[in-house]
Amino acid sequence: MEKSPGNSKEPAETIEMGWATHFRIQAFCQVGKICACLLLLGASVLHAQEDLTINRKYQLIAVYLYHFSSFTHWPKTAFSADDNALHVCVMGHNPFQNFLDELADRRVGLRVFKPRYLSVNDKLGSCHMVYLSQPTSASIDDIKGLNAPGRLLLGEGVEFVKRGGAIGFYTENNKIHIIVNRQAINSAALKISSKLLRLARILE
């Protein structure tokens, strides 16, 4: 893990994000992502001795999803108009409580961030981002089959990404990490910002 510069008296590390991520988030703030950055920075100041609770984990992942909507480029065919909402669909089990709803209607460029909650049998046609919790993804045989042009498929664990998901979240040493499947992203005709990719482990 990267060390913080100078003689900072803050804890040597935070539970959810290391110093490298902390400073990258500050860099994001400099390019105009002020509101979401403040949410991330506020979440990152927890002391190392505090447990990474389930609630805190999903609060952080909710904010990550908001960020990912800003750092993902969708094909023009994914929207019928420039100001259409960006639909973030939670499929099956919802682990977020109201964390995503607290981010609803925030701006993502010209669009607004719109969470939706679907059953595993609902159609995903209008979803631009789809999140599958671990219990949901474990119940689905063909994760790769959910991929479609203009749809970013996110879930939990390295195995989810190996099975065809685009982006997975996993915890290690009480920190949330990101793993990316470039092949899945390319097959969905999406482009991910290098700023986001620098935070991620890339599936080989």
All domains in the chain, ordered by first residue: 19-202 (3.40.50)
**For residue 31, pLDDT beyond 50:** no
Instruction: State pLDDT tens for residues 143-184.
Output: 989 999 999 999 999 999 999 999 999 998 888 999 999 999
Cα 157–150–144 angle (5° rounding)?
Answer: 40
Determine the residue type at 107: R
Per-residue pLDDT band at 39 (split at 50, 70, 90): very low
Supply the mean pLDDT for the chain. 79
**For residue 130, pLDDT beyond 80:** yes
Per-residue pLDDT, 181: 95
Which of helix, strand or coil describes residue 170? strand
**Beta-bridge partners for 170:** 177
Per-residue pLDDT, 52: 52
Q: Which residues are CB-contacts of 191 (< 8 A; sequence separation ≥ 6)?
A: 72, 73, 185
**Which residue would you say has higher pLDDT here, 123 or 10?**
123
Distances (CA, A) of 10 to 13, 14, 16, 22, 41: 8, 9, 15, 12, 14
